[in-house]
Structure formats: structure tokens, C-alpha cells
Structure 1
Amino acid sequence: MISNESIPTLNTMFRFQWEQAQNSYVLLYPEGMIQLNGPAGEILALVDGEKPVAGIVADLKGKFGDVDGLESDVLEFLAEAHKQRWIEISRSNVG
């Protein structure tokens, strides 16, 4: 389970980058590419393997303001990204 104390890291199978041709962030992997929507790209851009989820949420609040439901949206996205194996949880106080 992902919590505010969890520290996500990008799965080494993927490379995260801005793709000018797509005008979006993408995840590249040997068989292809996943084009990310704006919010997904903004979240994954902050995944560095050192910052906990709470820090990611704080950085997003600093950039976009205190948006209603931001924390739960980030947790939900990261849970889905983990399910898709885009990220790993390197450390967590929960689960």
C-alpha cells in the first residue's frame, strides 16, 4: 500500500522524458512508449527515488496551489503506476 511516507522510484525498465514530438512526458521502454497526460507527467517528474509522496504533494501544491483532492489524486495515480509497474516503492512505513 502506498502512503504519504512511501518513496516511489521509477522502474529501471522505463525511461521518463519530455517528448517534443508528442508535446508531453512519456515513458519509454524496449517495446514502445507510453504517452502520459499532463497530471501524470507532472507527478512522475517529481519521482526521484528520494522524495516521499508527501514531498511530491507539497511540490505540486507549490506549483499549482492547494487544489482540492490533490493528495488523494496523487496517491491514486501512484497506486495505478505501481500496478502498471512504472514505479517501485523503495521504502515505506506502511505495507
Structure 2
Amino acid sequence: MSDAEIPGNARPRLGAHVRMRPDRATGGYVLLGPETVVVLNQTGHAVLRLCDGERTVDQIVASLVEGYDGADTDVVGEQVRDYLSRLAARNLVAFTRTRR
């Protein structure tokens, strides 16, 4: 799914068998998947901690914008969609069907 295809009402969650865990070595967080470890920066962690399958992409973007003074909603939305798209391509993030 490309970032242009991720609708605002999509509900991202971690993929099957993927877990986010604290990393003692870095003091940050990592994503653990089958044969995969991804070290997260603070921004990646901020996005993924909100990906619970309940919040929509639009709600995640709004929450992130609220936390950063002067953040542009359109820019943050584009960056979040791009990030989620790249993780989805690696099966680290999946999308829950939207509710009608």
C-alpha cells in the first residue's frame, strides 16, 4: 500500500507476530518481527505507540501535531503515511478494516 493509498480512516496496528519492546542497549525501542529487528528513533516510536488498530491515521496525525508546536498537519500526515507504507511493505504494520 503506498502512502497515497492510505486513507485517513485506516486503522494501523502492528503486523502479525510483531512486537515493540524497550531496548536496554540504546534506551529506546525496537520492533521485533520474524527474523527482523528494527531500531526505532523517537519519532518512529511516537507513531507506532499510537498504532493500536483503534485509532485512525487521521487521529494519529492529529495527536502528533498536537504534541509539536508549529507542526503542519499536511506535512506530518504525509510523513506518517510514508512511514506506515514502508513498514506495511515489510509486514511490520497492517491495517484493520475501517468501520462503517
Which TM bucket (shorter chain)?
A: 0.7 to 0.9
Aligned residues: 93
Is 1:67 the counterpart of 2:71 in the alignment?
yes
Q: 2:15–2:94: 8 Å Cα contact kept in structure 1? A: yes
AA of the residue aligned to 1:24: G
C-alpha distance in structure 1 between counterparts of 2:97 and 2:34, whole Å: 27
Once the two structures are superposed, the pairs formed by residues 52-91 of structure 1 within 5 Å of their partners are: 52-68=56-72, 69-91=75-97
Q: 1:9–1:87: 8 Å Cα contact kept in structure 2? A: yes
Identical pairs, percent: 29
User: How high is the TM-score relative to the length of structure 1?
Assistant: 0.85
Give unpaired runs (5+ residues) of structure 2: none
| CA-based RMSD | 1.7
Segments of 4+ in structure 1 off by > 6 A? Answer: none
Once the two structures are superposed, the pairs formed by residues 12-31 of structure 1 within 5 Å of their partners are: 12-31=16-35
Give unpaired runs (5+ residues) of structure 1: none
